Amino acid sequence: MYTPSTARADAAAMLAALWDGLDGNVCIMSAARQGGELTDIQHFWLPPARRDAVVAELARQTAAGREAFVSACAFAARQRRREHATHAHALWADLDQPPRMDHALPPPTLRVQTSTPDRQLWVWRLAAPIAASDAERLVRRIAAVLGADQQACDAARCLRPPGSLNTKHQPPLVARLLEHAPERVYDVAAIEAALPPEAPPANGQGQGVDWERLLDGVPEGERNRRLFEAACSLRHNNVPREAALAVVQLFAARCRPPLAASEAEAIVRSAWRYPPAQASPSLASLGSDADDAGDGGDAGDAAPRLVRLDAVVPTPLAWLWPSYLPLGKLVLLEGDPGLGKSLLALDLAARVTRGMPMPDGARGLDAPAGVVLLLAEDDLADTVRPRLDAAGADPARVVALQTAGDPTDPDRPPTTLDVEALRQAIQAVGARLLIVDPLAAFLPAKTDAHTDADVRRALAPLARLAASERVTVLAIRHLNKSTALPALYRGGGSIAFTAAARAVLLVARHPEDPTQRVLAPLKANLAPDAPALAFSITSHDGPAPRVAWGGATEYSASELLGGGTRDERPNALAAVHGALPTAPPGATPAELAAATGLAVGTVKNALLRLRALGQATQARYGRWLRPSPASPPSDASDGDASPPASVASRGEASLASLLSDGSDGDDASDDRPLAPWVQPSPSLESLSSDGDDGDGARPPPGPPQGEASLPSLTSDGDDASDDHAADPWPALLQRFRTAWLAVGHAYDGAPPPDRQRLAAAFARGQAFEQAWQRQDLPLAQATIAALEQLLPGPAPPPSTTGPNIARRRTPPARIAP
């Protein structure tokens, strides 16, 4: 019986024959096989001296059901390309059939049966290393003498070691070491003397091609070589490429089994890269026909890897926690500091190590599994271990990875690019959960967390590792400070973090009970949105805290954060407006939330909308007031629809900035200098000259509606001034056209002091367009009222301060609500 220990010893023997005496980098290639083709190819790089680590990695890949290969040459760079191969310490031959007996080659140092008994790998150990180019030349001559596979001669070739799987056969076969004679070490001159003299390949002169054999059908193991010889012969005889392709595809279809038309095309393409009289080039770029498919190496002619979906076997999605944590995926856990994200992650870790049910009672894994921790903030002795014990974890199944295992820097902490170190930690405990806390601490050096490309490069290896090891990566991230943004955009750094994750979970305070927290799904690509769950943090038999889970709650992530949501309660505006003080120092959003019983996020969103309507103003230190009746907003007759005196900070989707004069400074009055681009716009006429709304729609006309008052905003969205109109938008569109056209006619050709109001009209038009797209009725009513305030009247004096709106934005070509 071929035991794992025997396989490890045999693999070590082959690595010694190939790598002893080499320096630089050597490669392990791992791949899965679908539909007969190698897929999900991964490369691992190590110095040749670390053979023990290579043997362990080969065993892990085999245990995972993947095929594994090792490079025959050393490389100067960590790229498996022929130009990077430097030197070799052995020669090899990949036999797909019994070797020819009419040769004088000495017996090999070792022989490996790669699948069936006739398929063997022979290796000759050399007394001293030779250049990779010389090794490739000699290997090609050996292959010609023995009748071996010419595709396995490339310097970038990876060979199948003993103990590895060959999943091309079902059930899979295991490569076995048939013979090993370590005393057989040969001088390269002795090998070369046993070979016949080199001669130009006959196929380059149109000779040596067995056309009858091609018509009868070439068996597996010879297909690529013989088709390439035929293609070179056709090239030498000046046969047009299109005709040669048709001939080669005909022969490919007659092969046993048939060779794909795409591979025949690659063969012809490679043959046509060389002049007709030139000797036969490398066959490594022709594609795949041998057992070690896909590991040849002329990158200049490499064909793209295609996977036909009919060859992909559908597999059900696996879950660590159904609907919350998909297995084999990257998941983000987000929230403000101090809310218990790390403690919650350790609670989940404890459940994984014991095989306990998940917080909602759902069944997780079928059996206990391990957990890997990447921690940058909490001490293992006084924080992590006590918390795991309080949660009931099995500490023997938890491992904390603290260094990357870099021989040049032994103390360097790991990053998301240290896949090998992470893989070793995962496989050491059979982990199904990897916690990264916080994610920002383990990004590679010089990674810009606000740059999409940098973030994706940093997370891609982590996502591939999660898929290959079937482990859930739970990465913890803090929120940014932009409270007015939608919940999906609140995570710190680039949106690429959220895009790369397959699920995002949010931890926030419970809106109605400050002692409780809520875990709410924020993004779920692989399942319907799951309910949010309440939890609290309590002590358990000592100072270490633990998580006490409650039931499901009705709050969504948007409601918990309050930014950019349109789900505010109908009476939120009226409630917040009624609670606003009229005298300094005002009230903070938290105080208003306590007074109204609303969530802080809902209060903040309501305050922004009230400020846009002129019904609230922001005082110092984050406090809010009702506007003073003695100082109404500018350009307003009754003060309930004009732009406010202050504008929200950059980053907020400020309604006030949309209602201002087009700038985003602190002064919202209409007294800025005329911008050069402000000219009478043809779209002012086109919006209502023929009754068309600018994009082909002709809403029914209606009487102008009254301005929106605050009580009307608490209704179900209908205009309170027209109880008979089921849909207020047609009337609002008519009212907007009337005001827009009137402003355009009033200031067409007017001197700059009067045309200053036209600049403000553009801003109102943009704001109405935004309201139309979002179907935001209160904003539409407010922007129309502000636009009507710009009808002819005393022109405001030009301002000499403030930014020039010409440098801040460009106007729309036309307003098309």
Burial class (CB in 10 A: 0-12, 13-18, 19+), 135: buried
Give the three-state DSSP class for 43: strand
Residue 303 — pLDDT band, cuts 50, 70, 90?
Answer: low
| Strand 370-375, strand 398-400: pairing | parallel
Q: Is 30 helix (H, G, I), strand (E, B) or coil?
A: strand
548-569: average pLDDT: 71
DSSP 3-state of 13: helix
The secondary structure of 101-162, three-state, reads CCCCCCCCCEEEECCCCCCEEEEEEEEEEEEHHHHHHHHHHHHHHHCCCHHHHCCCCEECCC
Place of tokens 């999943």: 167
Residue 724 gets which letter from DSSP? Answer: T
Work out the pLDDT band at 345, boundaries 50, 70, 90. Answer: very high
- Residue 59 and residue 53: Cα distance in Å, rounded? 10
Per-residue pLDDT at 627: 81
The residues with which 550 forms a beta bridge, in sequence order, are none
pLDDT at 35: 67
For residue 706, pLDDT over 70 is answered with no
- Give the tokens for residue 614: 């002129």
Identity of the highest mean pLDDT range in 222-231, 266-275, 588-597, 796-805: 588-597
- Show Cβ contacts of residue 13 under 8 Å, excluding neighbours closer than 6 positions: 110, 162, 177, 180, 182
Determine the pLDDT at residue 549: 93
Which tops the pLDDT comparison, 709 or 420?
A: 420
Query: For residue 156, what are the β-bridge partners?
Result: none
Please report which confidence band the pLDDT of residue 512 belongs to, taking 50, 70 and 90 as the band edges.
confident
The residue ranking higher by pLDDT, 582 or 30, is 30
The order of strands in the sheet holding 503-509 is 398-400, 370-375, 431-437, 472-478, 330-335, 503-509, 517-524, 532-539, 545-553
Q: What is the pLDDT confidence band of residue 319, given thresholds at 50, 70 and 90? A: very high
CB burial string 76-104: b at 16+ within 10 A, e below:
eeeebebebbbbbbbbbbbbbbebeeeee
Mean pLDDT of all residues in 253-265: 84
pTM: 0.41
Span of 229-233, 545-549, 636-640 with lowest mean pLDDT: 636-640
Measured in whole angstroms, the distance separating CA 622 from the mean position of its chain's CA atoms is: 37
Measured CA to CA, the distance from residue 557 to residue 66 in angstroms comes to 40
Return d(Cα 207, Cα 230) in angstroms, integer: 9
Distance CA 765, CA 638 (A): 21
Enclosing H/E stretch for 530? none
Which residues are 504's β-sheet partners? 332, 523
Residue 607, token pair as written in the block: 């305050």
Question: Given this model, what pLDDT does residue 216 score?
Answer: 77
Backbone angles phi, psi at 360, to 5 degrees: -90, 10
Asked if 262 and 303 touch (Cβ cutoff 8 Å), the reply is yes
Q: Which amino acid is at 803?
A: P
Question: What is the pLDDT averaged over residues 168-191?
Answer: 88
E strands present in 379-430: 398-400
- The residue with tokens 């006030």 is 656
Contact 357, 363 (CB under 8 A): yes
Assess whether pLDDT exceeds 60 at residue 77: yes
Give the residue, 307 or 521, on which the prediction is more confident.
521
pLDDT band, residue 322 (cuts 50/70/90): very high
Share of the chain above pLDDT 90, in %: 24
User: Do the Cβ atoms of 632 and 626 come closer than 8 Å?
Assistant: no
Q: For 471-484, what is each residue's pLDDT tens digit?
A: 999 999 999 877 76
DSSP per-residue string spanning 441-508? GGSPTT--TT-HHHHHHHHHHHHHHHHHHT-EEEEEEEB-S-TTS-GGG-BSS-THHHHH-SEEEEEE
User: pLDDT value at position 439?
Assistant: 93
Q: Residues with Cβ < 8 Å from 656, sequence gap 6 or more?
A: 608, 611, 612, 643, 644, 646, 647, 648, 668
* Assigned token pair, 27: 């490669």
CA distance 99 to 138: 17
Query: What local confidence, expressed as pLDDT, does residue 594 receive?
Result: 85
Classified as helix, coil or strand, 729 is: helix
User: Per-residue pLDDT tens for 380-406?
Assistant: 999 999 999 999 999 999 999 999 888
333 with 476: CB under 8 angstroms? yes
**Measured distance CA(96)–CA(79) in Å, rounded:** 28
Query: Does pLDDT of 748 surpass 80?
Result: no
Contacts of 807 (CB under 8 A, 6+ apart): none
Separation of alpha carbons 251 and 212, rounded Å: 10
Q: Are 76 and 84 in contact (CB under 8 A)?
A: yes
Contacts 24+ apart (CB under 8 A), 55-61: 55/8, 55/11, 55/12, 55/15, 56/424, 57/28, 57/420, 57/423, 58/11, 58/28, 58/161, 58/163, 58/164, 59/4, 59/7, 59/8, 59/11, 59/163, 60/423, 60/427, 61/28, 61/30, 61/164
Is pLDDT larger for residue 657 or for residue 618? 618
**Alpha carbon distance 266, 298 (integer Å):** 12
Q: With both helix axes pointing from N to C terminus, report the angle between 729-747 and 777-788 in degrees, rounded to the nearest 10.
A: 30
pLDDT at 606: 82
Can you tell me whether residue 241 is helix, strand or coil? helix
Q: Give the count of beta carbons closer than 10 Å to the beta carbon of residue 533.
A: 20
pLDDT tens-digit series, residues 331-341 = 999 999 989 99
